[in-house]
Amino acid sequence: MDDDPRADRTLKPAALALYDITKRFGAFTALESVSLLIDSGRITALLGENGAGKTTLMRIAFGMIQPDAGSIVIEGQQTRFNSPADAIAAGIGMVHQQFSLIPAMTVAENVALGGKGRFSFDETASLLRDVADRTGLSIDPRARVADLGSAERQKLEIIRTIAHDAHVMILDEPTAVLTPRDTVELFKQLRTFAASGGAVVLITHKLRDALEHADDVSVLRRGRLALSTSMSEVNEASLVNAMLGDTPHVVTSKESKPAGSTVIASLDKARLRDRTSGRTMNVSLQIRSGEIVGIAALNGAAIPLLRMLAARSQTSTGSATLPARIGFVPENRHDEALIDDFSLVENLALADAGKIDGLISWSTIERETRTVISQFDVRTPDPNTSPAKLSGGNQQRFVLGRELRNSPDLLVLENPTQGLDVNASAFVHEQIRHARTNGAAVVFYSSDLDELADLSDRVIVVSGETLIEVGPDRDAIGRALLGAQPVDER
Amino acid sequence: MNAELALAGDALVRATPLIIAGLAVAFAFRGGVFNIGAEGQLLVGAIAATAVTLSSGEMLGRLAVVLAIIAGAIAGAAWAWIAAELKRRFHVLEIISTIMLNFIAIHLVSFLVRGPLQEPTRIYPQTETFIRSARLPVLVPGTRLHMGFALAIVLAIGLAWAFKRTAFGFRVRATGASPSAAKVAGLIDTEKTSLIVFLVSGALAGIAGSVEVSGVTFALYENLSPGYGYTAIAVALIAGLNPVGIIASGIFFGILETGASALQREFAIPSSLASVVEATLIIAALTIAAVRGRHTLIQPVKS
C-alpha cells in the first residue's frame, strides 16, 4: 500500500492496534472484521451512526467485552484483556459519557480510587503535580467533586486517566455535556495530552468536532470499517457519505410561519427552582399556538422551566396557565418516559394512568398502540414487546407517538434527538413541524445549537436568572449562552 | 371420617394464612414497597380480631366474625401506616422499620395475653376461647378447613383482577416498576399510591391474622404465628409475585409444613427438614428469577 499516506507507521508501532475484530450478539453481527490503528501523538475520531459498532469496538479495546475473533496489539505486543483492569494496566484509559466520579469525595480521593494500598493525600497530590508538569493540566486536589461543574469534572476524568499512566485515552461523546466554550477547552486539553505522546480516540456523533480537532478519522458503518484515513483527506460531505452509505441523507428544509394569536401557555412571575443548584428564578413567558419555541441553556438549567410548562411541577408564587392536553417527551427515556418491565401497550396506558379511574379497557388501548406503531413507524415485532427491546430511535418514535396521539395543545420536549441517528432525528423534527402545522404550540430544549436554529421560530436562552429571547440564529444563541457564563480571566 | 382427609384439610388450613399474607407481601413488592412486616401486621390483626370477638361476640352473633376480620384489616393497615409515615417524614427505610415493628407486635401479644386480655382464671398466658358462634364456619365437615381458605382464594383472584384490569392496580404496578416514569410520564401521585400500597398490604396481613384466630386457634396466645409473615415472603417470591400463583405456592408450603410435622410424629424425622427444603426452594427461585432478570427485588444492574 504505497499510496497510504501513513505507510511509514510501520517504523513506529501503533499505540493501539485492533486487527480483524469480529463480535456477534446472537444472530446480530455488531462488528465484522474491523481493523483500526491508533497512533501516538494524534487524535483519532471514530464516527458512525447509532448501532454502527463504535461503542462495541471501544468496549473491546477497554476489556469490557471480549471479541469473538481478532487480536489487540499494544505497542507491537499482542495482548488479551479479560477485564477493564487489564486494559488500564496496559495503558488504556476510558472517559465515560456518564462521569464515574464520587461527588462526596475530593479530587485527590477520586484520583486514588481504584489504586492499591493505602490512600495518601500527599502522594496523590504529587502525582497530580507530575501530571500538571507533563501535560499542563492542573486541578486543585482538595476540591470536592460535588462543587465542580461538568467541564471541570470531565477534566478531572482526563487527569485521572493520565495519572493512571494511560497512553491511549478513549472518550465517548465527551462534548455532549459541554458548552461551546468548554468544548474548545477540552480539545486544548486533549491536544496537550497528544503532544506529550499520548493517543486519543474520540467517539462522536458531531462531525464538526471531528473535522475541527481530529488528525485521523475512522468511520464505521453497520459493523464494518467504511473509511480510515487522515483528516486532511476528507471533508464533511465525504464523511457523511461514509457514515450513511447509500441511504439518502434526509435534508431538513427551513420553513417558518407566523405564530397564531391564541396564547396556549403562559407563565406570570412563576417561580422556578432548580433542585440540583437550589437556585430560583421568576419567569414570565407566553407560548402561542402554531409556534416552535426553542430553549437553550447550559447544563440542564432549562429543566425547571420545561417541567413547569409540561405541568410536571407547580409554582409556589405567581401563576402558570397551561392547557389541559400537554404532550411531554422527557430527556431520560429509560427513567421517565418508559417502563422497561411493561409492554408497549402498557406503556401507552401509562400516559393516562394518573387521570383514569375504574377499569382499563386493554383492547381499546391495544388498538391505540397499533395505531401509534403504524403511524409513527415504530419497528417492533408486536405491541406486547418491551420497549427495552427496541432501538433508541424506535423508543423515541413510540414516546412521540404516545404524546402526540391526542393532538395536544402543547408539546414539550427535552433534547428529543439526543443519541438518535440521522434518520430518527429527521423523523422527530418532521413530527415537531407537523404538530406546529396542526396548531399546537411546541417548546423544545436542545443542547445542539444547530438543531435549535434549524427548528425554532424563536429561541429563549436561559441565562443566569433571566430569559433572553433571540432569533433562530446559531451565533446569536451561542453568544447569548456564553454571555450567561461569567468570563474566566485566568 | 378418614385421617387422610383430615390431614389434607390441615394442609389447607396451614396454607390459608400463608396465602393471605403472601398476597400482602406480593401487593407491597409489586407496588415498590418492601414490606417485610407481614408478621407484625398479622399479629396486630389477630389482636384486634380477638379484642372485637371477646368484647362483643355474644352480642353480635354471626356478625362477630365479619367484624373481627374488618377489625383485623384496620389494625394491620394501621400498623403498616406507622412504617409509611416514618418513611414519608424521616425517610426511614421500610425494610428496617417493618422488621422492628414485627418485634414490637410480638411483644405486644405477650403483654396482652399476660395482662389486659388474659383469660379470667389468670393461669394460662392466653385469652379466653371464642364462643362457637364467633368462629369461622367449617368448610368441609370432618376437617378443620374453615371459610378463611375460601376467603384467601377470593382475595387472590380479586387481587389478580385488580392488577390486570383496574386503573388503580395499574398505577400500583407502574409506581412499583418505575416511580420516576410513573410520575413524569403517567402523572401518577406516587406518594399517595405508595401510602395506599402500605395500607392495603398491612390490611391483607391483618386479615391473615384475624382469620387465623377466628378459624383455627379461637384464642390469642404467644407463638400464635410460627413465622407466617416471613414464610409469606417466600410464598410470594416463589409465585413470582403473581396472586393466583400464590394460591399454589401457599398450598405447597402448607403441605410441606403439615407433612413435616406428621413425619416427625410418625417416623421421628426432624421437622426442621421442611425448613431446609423451604430455604433451598427460595434460593432456587431467587436464582432463577435473577438469571431471567425479571425480578423487581434483585434485578441485575444493567450495563
Q: Which residues pair with A144 in a beta bridge?
A: A106
- In angstroms, what separates the C-alpha of B184 from chain A's closest C-alpha? 6
**Is-contact B45 B73, C-beta < 8 A?**
yes
The more confidently predicted of residues B252 and A2 is: B252
In a domain, B300, yes or no: no
- In angstroms, what separates the C-alpha of A356 from chain B's closest C-alpha? 6
The answer to whether B179 contacts chain A (CB < 8 Å) is no
pLDDT in tens, A249-262: 344 444 555 666 78
Rounded to whole angstroms, how far apart are CA atoms A91 and A40? Answer: 12
**Is-contact B213 B49, C-beta < 8 A?**
yes
What is the mean predicted confidence (pLDDT) over B87-114?
A: 95
Q: Place A174 in a pLDDT band, splitting at 50, 70 and 90.
A: confident
Among the partner residues B170, B178, B186, nearest to A360 by beta-carbon distance:
B170
- The answer for residues whose C-beta is within 8 angstroms of residue A404's C-beta and 6 or more apart is A327, A376, A411, A431, A435
User: What are the distances in angstroms from CA A141 to CA A109, A255, A305, A474?
Assistant: 8, 51, 35, 37
Q: Which residue in A241, A182, A191, A180 sits closest to A213, CA to CA? A: A191
Q: Which residue in A183, A196, A74 sits closest to A131, CA to CA? A: A196
Alpha-carbon Rg for chain B, nearest whole angstrom, is 19
Rounded to whole angstroms, how far apart are CA atoms A457 and A480? Answer: 17
Q: Which residue in B205, B165, B162, B159 sits closest to B44, CA to CA? A: B205
**Is-contact A112 A101, C-beta < 8 A?**
no
pLDDT cut 70: percent of chain A above it: 88
Measured in degrees and rounded to the nearest 5, phi and psi for residue A52 equal -75, -20
In a domain, B111, yes or no: yes
Interchain CB distance below 8 Å, B170 and A341: no
Q: Place A4 in a pLDDT band, splitting at 50, 70 and 90.
A: very low
Domain that holds residue B75: 16-225
- The answer for residues whose C-beta is within 8 angstroms of residue A70's C-beta and 6 or more apart is A18, A19, A20, A21, A22, A33, A34, A35
pLDDT cut 90: percent of chain A above it: 32
H/E run at residue B64: helix B63-90
Angle separating helix axes B190-212 and B167-177, nearest 10 degrees:
110
* Model pLDDT, residue A490: 31
- In angstroms, what separates the C-alpha of A83 from chain B's closest C-alpha? 14
The answer to whether B240 contacts chain A (CB < 8 Å) is no
> Which amino acid is residue A164, in one-letter code?
H
Is A176's pLDDT higher than 70? no
* Model pLDDT, residue A299: 64
A357, A359, A402, best to mutate vs chain B, most B CBs in 10 Å: A359
Residue that has been written with the C-alpha cell 422551566 in this structure:
A305
**Is-contact B148 B76, C-beta < 8 A?**
no
In a domain, B232, yes or no: no
The answer to whether A363 contacts chain B (CB < 8 Å) is no
The more confidently predicted of residues A418 and A384 is: A384
Q: Which residue in A329, A341, A332, A350 sits closest to A435, CA to CA? A: A329
Q: Which fold has domain A263-483?
A: Rossmann fold (3.40.50)
CB atoms within 10 A of CB A487: 7
Strand order in the sheet with A280-288: A280-288, A263-273, A319-321
* Model pLDDT, residue A351: 93
In terms of CA atoms, which chain A residue is nearest residue B173? A342
Rounded to whole angstroms, how far apart are CA atoms B145 and B6? Answer: 9
* Model pLDDT, residue A364: 94
* Model pLDDT, residue B98: 96
Ranges of H-type helices in A196-287:
207-213, 236-244
Q: Which fold has domain A7-244?
A: Rossmann fold (3.40.50)
What is the mean predicted confidence (pLDDT) over B21-34?
A: 96
In terms of CA atoms, which chain B residue is nearest residue A307? B184
What is the mean predicted confidence (pLDDT) over A226-239?
A: 86
In terms of CA atoms, which chain B residue is nearest residue A403? B185
The more confidently predicted of residues B46 and B303 is: B46
Where b means 16+ CB within 10 Å and e means fewer, A465-479 reads: eebbebebebebbbe
> Which amino acid is residue A82, in one-letter code?
N
The answer to whether B182 contacts chain A (CB < 8 Å) is yes
Among the partner residues B170, B180, B189, nearest to A335 by beta-carbon distance:
B180
- In angstroms, what separates the C-alpha of B65 from chain A's closest C-alpha? 30
Is B295's pLDDT higher than 50? no
The separation between CA A272 and the C-alpha centre of its own chain, rounded to angstroms, equals 25
Rounded to whole angstroms, how far apart are CA atoms A244 and A126? Answer: 47
For chain A positions 46-85, those within 8 Å of chain B (CB to CB) are 64
The answer to whether A335 contacts chain B (CB < 8 Å) is yes
Measured in degrees and rounded to the nearest 5, phi and psi for residue A189 equal -60, -45
pLDDT in tens, B187-219: 999 999 999 999 999 999 999 999 999 999 999
- In angstroms, what separates the C-alpha of A11 from chain B's closest C-alpha? 39
Is A3's pLDDT higher than 70? no
What is the mean predicted confidence (pLDDT) over A291-309?
A: 87
Contacts of B170 in chain A (CB under 8 A): 346, 349, 353, 360
User: What are the distances in angstroms from CA A86 to CA A69, A80, A91, B98?
Assistant: 18, 8, 9, 44
pLDDT in tens, B125-183: 999 999 999 999 999 988 999 999 999 999 999 999 999 999 999 999 999 999 999 99
Q: Place B255 in a pLDDT band, splitting at 50, 70 and 90.
A: very high
Provide the mean pLDDT of chain A: 84
* Model pLDDT, residue A259: 62
B29, B178, B196, best to mutate vs chain A, most A CBs in 10 Å: B178
- In angstroms, what separates the C-alpha of B186 from chain A's closest C-alpha? 5
Joined together, the cell numbers standing for residue B201 give 398490604
pLDDT in tens, A30-79: 899 999 999 999 999 998 876 678 888 988 999 988 999 999 998 888 88
The answer to whether A451 contacts chain B (CB < 8 Å) is no
Q: Place B298 in a pLDDT band, splitting at 50, 70 and 90.
A: very low
Among the partner residues A341, A352, A357, nearest to B177 by beta-carbon distance:
A341
The answer to whether B181 contacts chain A (CB < 8 Å) is yes
Contacts of B184 in chain A (CB under 8 A): 312, 328, 330, 336-337
Rounded to whole angstroms, how far apart are CA atoms B196 and B190? Answer: 10
Strand order in the sheet with A16-25: A28-38, A16-25, A69-74, A77-79
Q: Which residues pair with A36 in a beta bridge?
A: A18
Sign, CA torsion B39/B41/B43/B49: negative
Contacts of A359 in chain B (CB under 8 A): 165-167
The separation between CA B242 and the C-alpha centre of its own chain, rounded to angstroms, equals 15
Rounded to whole angstroms, how far apart are CA atoms B106 and B224? Answer: 9
Interchain CB distance below 8 Å, A358 and B294: no
Least confident of A190-194, A482-486, B188-192, B225-229: A482-486
Domain boundaries, chain A: 7-244, 263-483
In a domain, B10, yes or no: no
> Which amino acid is residue B2, in one-letter code?
N
Name the region of A479 (left: φ>0; alpha: ψ -120 to 50; beta: rest). Answer: alpha
- In angstroms, what separates the C-alpha of B43 from chain A's closest C-alpha? 33
User: What are the distances in angstroms from CA A246 to CA A32, A52, A240, A243, A425?
Assistant: 19, 14, 10, 9, 18
Interchain CB distance below 8 Å, A338 and B187: no
Interchain CB distance below 8 Å, B185 and A338: yes
pLDDT in tens, A313-355: 887 788 889 999 999 999 888 889 999 999 999 999 999 998 8
User: How many interchain CB pairs under 8 A, A with B?
Assistant: 75
**Is-contact A42 A231, C-beta < 8 A?**
no
Counted domains in chain B? 1
The answer to whether B268 contacts chain A (CB < 8 Å) is no
Q: Place B106 in a pLDDT band, splitting at 50, 70 and 90.
A: very high
H/E run at residue A77: strand A77-79
Is B96's pLDDT higher than 80? yes
**Is-contact B250 B25, C-beta < 8 A?**
no
Joined together, the cell numbers standing for residue B106 give 410480638
* Model pLDDT, residue A38: 92
Contacts of A338 in chain B (CB under 8 A): 181, 185
Least confident of A277-281, A286-290, A319-323: A277-281
